[in-house]
Amino acid sequence: MRLTDAAAIAGIGSTAFGKHLDGAEKDLACQAIVAALDDAGLDPGEVDGMCSYTMEETDEVEIAKNIGAGEIAFFSRIGYGGGGGCATIAQLAMAVATGRCTVGVAWRSRKRGSGLRPWAAAEGQPSTGAQWTRPFGLLRPADEIAMLARRYLHTYGATRDHLANVALACRRHANANPGAMMFERTLTREQYHAARWVSEPLGLYDCCLETDGALACVVVSGERAADLPQRPVYVHSASQGLPRQHHGMTNYWGPDPLRGPGYACARPLWRAAEFTPADVSVAQIYDAFTPLVPFSLEAYGFCGPGEGASFTEDGGIELGGRLPVNTSGGGLSEAYVHGFNLIVEGVRQLRGTATTQVADARTCLVTSGECVPTSALLLRN
C-alpha cells in the first residue's frame, strides 16, 4: 500500500499569536482544533484519530472530552519537539490510509511567549546527549546551533549577510500577513547587523520568536476530502529521519557535522514522490534559527553542500525568487509554534489563500527541525 495522495488535509485552524494570551494551552489547543474542524465542515463528534507531540502539554483525554470527539480509534505522539510537526500529519495520513481512523486531528499548542523555557527549568542530571554539551556552556538550542553555524561559515566562506537574507525574507513575508507577530514591523539589513548577540554568530534576528498560540489540521481520506468545502491538499509523500549514530540535539561527532537529519529524511521522502525538488513551487522550511534554512535547502536537494547560503542571494527565497520560502513569516517572524504554522501555511499556499501567494502553486515542501531527529511532507493540490 502506498501513502501517495491517499489522505488529504481538509481543514486548518489557529488561534491568534502573541505573548501572554489568555487561557491555558489546553484552551488554545481546543480553539484551534474546533476552528480546523469548522474549516473542514466536519463535526467534532466525527473525530476518531489524534496526533500531537510528546512535548505537548495537553493530553488526548482532555482534548477529546473538551471538543466533543467521538470514540478515538487511533492516537499517537511524535518526539523531538521541532522535529515532530510533519510526522504528526504523516501518522494521521497512514492511519487514514490503512483504515485505522477516518477523521484525524493534529495540533500543537504552546505558551512559550508567557515565559516558559523548557531548558531553563531543567534540574539534576542532563539527558544523555546534553551531558556532553551543557557542562561546556552549550545551555540553549541557540548555543548548539551557533556551533554548527560557525562551522558552516568557516567551511564554505558564507557570511552573516547570507543569514540576514533569511531573516529579511521571512520578515518581508510576515509584513504582509495580518496574523503574524511581525505584521507591518519592518526589519532592515542595518538593524539586523546592529542587533545584540544571542550566541555568536547568531544575533537577535537569527532566532525565532517566543510565542503563545495553537494550530491544528484535519486529515481525512483523499476521496472524502474532495467532497468537503475546502480545496483538498494531498499528503503526497512523508518521511522521518534519524541518521546513524546521531547524538542529542545536534551531532558534532560525525564525519561531517553539517550533514544532519534532513539528509536522512530527504532520501525516503523523494524516493516515494512522483516529482523532484525542481518541481516544488514553494517551501516552508523550519527556521528556529536562520542557518537552518540553508542547511535544509542543501539537505533536501535544492542545491549542493555549501551552496545554501548563495541560494538566498538576490531574493532567491523571496516571492519571485528561485524558491519562495516561509511565505507567512515562519518561526522567525510569524510565530514559533514548533513549526506547525509552516504546515498550515503550506495548505494556504496550495489553496491559493496565502497572504504572500505564489502564483499557481501546485506543490509544497514542509520540513520540521533540522539538527534534531526530523520529519518532512510533500503536499500537492
Domain boundaries, the chain: 7-115+209-380
Q: Considering the chain, what is the average pLDDT of its residues?
A: 94
Does the annotation count 336 as an active-site position? yes
Over residues 105-120, the pLDDT tens digits come to 999 999 988 876 555 5
Tell me the chain's radius of gyration from C-alpha atoms: 19
Average pLDDT over residues 190-197: 98
Q: CA-to-CA distance for 292 and 83, rounded, in angstroms?
A: 12
CATH number of 7-115+209-380: 3.40.47.10
Average pLDDT over residues 148-171: 98
pLDDT over 70, % of the chain: 97
Does the annotation count 286 as an active-site position? yes
User: Do the Cβ atoms of 113 and 211 come closer than 8 Å?
Assistant: yes
Average pLDDT over residues 226-232: 97
The dihedral sign for the CA sequence 63, 68, 69, 70: positive
**pLDDT for the residue 312:** 98
Alpha helices in the chain (DSSP H): 25-40, 60-67, 85-97, 141-156, 160-175, 189-194, 222-225, 261-271, 292-299, 308-311, 330-333, 340-351
End-to-end Cα, the chain, rounded Å? 21
Of the residues 205, 263, 286, 300, which is catalytic? Answer: 286
**Cell 493540490 belongs to residue:** 381
Over residues 17-71, the pLDDT tens digits come to 999 999 999 999 999 999 999 999 999 999 999 999 998 889 999 999 999 999 9
User: Do the Cβ atoms of 287 and 17 come closer than 8 Å?
Assistant: no
Residue 271, judged by CB atoms within 10 A of its CB (0-12, 13-18, 19+), counts as: exposed
